[in-house]
Chains A and B, each alone.
Chain A
Amino acid sequence: DTGVSQDPRHKITKRGQNVTFRCDPISEHNRLYWYRQTLGQGPEFLTYFQNEAQLEKSRLLSDRFSAERPKGSFSTLEIQRTEQGDSAMYLCASSLIYNSPLHFGNGTRLTVT
C-alpha cells in the first residue's frame, strides 16, 4: 500500500491559464474523490468516480472544472481559465468501496496570481 499520490505538490499559475492535476489512488480502490480545501474550512466536495464512471459532480462547480478517470486507474482534474478564487488545496482521496474509509493524498496547492 503506497498510499494516494498527487502531482504536483504545488502549482503557481497566472490567471487565465489552464492547469491539470493528477491523482494516483491506492491500486485496488474503486472509488476516487476530488475535494477542494481553503484555509480554515473543511474539504469541499467536487466530484467522485466509481471505477471510470463519474457518478456525481458538485453543482457549485463551474464548467471550467473537468475530471476524468480513464480505465478506472489514475484521475486528472483540469481547471480552465483559472481565477484567483480557484486558489486552494486540491485533495484527492480513494476508498475501496462505498462507505469505507477515505484515504487522502497530500494534495496539490494551487496559487493563482
Chain B
Amino acid sequence: QQPVQSPQAVILREGEDAVINCSSSKALYSVHWYRQKHGEAPVFLMILLKGGEQKGHDKISASFNEKKQQSSLYLTASQLSYSGTYFCGTEGGGSEKLVFGKGTKLTVNP
C-alpha cells in the first residue's frame, strides 16, 4: 500500500529542473507532497485531489493522474533552498490515512 517514489535521489545544479514521481497500486483519492530538510519536520507543499488536476506553488508544481494512480512533482529552475527529501503521501483504497513513500533526496548544488 506504500506508494513508490522514483528516483531515490537526484543531484542538480542550481537552475536545473527535476521531476519526482509517485505511484500506487491502489486507487487513489488524493496525493500530498511534503519536503523535509535534515533534522526538521516535514513541511506541506501541496495536495492534489482526484480529477487529474495540476497545481502550482512558485516554481514547484504537480500533477495527478488518477487513472494511472500516479503523481509527479515538477521543480523548475531549482534553487539551493529546494534541497531536501521529498515525500508523497497517498490516501485511497478505502482508508483515510495518509501513507508516505520512502522519499526522494534532492540535492541542489551551486
Interface residues of A (CB under 8 A from B): 33, 35, 40-45, 48, 55-56, 91, 98-107
In B32-49, the 8 Å CB interface with A consists of 32, 34, 40-44, 47, 49
Cα-based distance from A66 to B89 in the complex (angstroms) = 24
Interface residues of B (CB under 8 A from A): 2, 29-30, 32, 34, 40-44, 47, 49, 87, 89, 91, 95-103
A-chain residues with CB within 8 Å of residue B40 when the two chains form the complex: 106
Q: Is A100 a contact of B47 with CB atoms below 8 Å?
A: yes
Contact of A42 among B44, B49, B97, B100 (CB under 8 A): B100
Q: Known pairs A42-B101, A102-B32, A102-B34. 7 more at Cβ < 8 A?
A: A42-B87, A45-B100, A56-B95, A101-B32, A101-B44, A105-B41, A106-B40
A-chain residues with CB within 8 Å of residue B89 when the two chains form the complex: 102
Q: Is B91 a contact of A42 with CB atoms below 8 Å?
A: no
Shortest distance in angstroms between A6's beta carbon and chain B's nearest beta carbon? 9
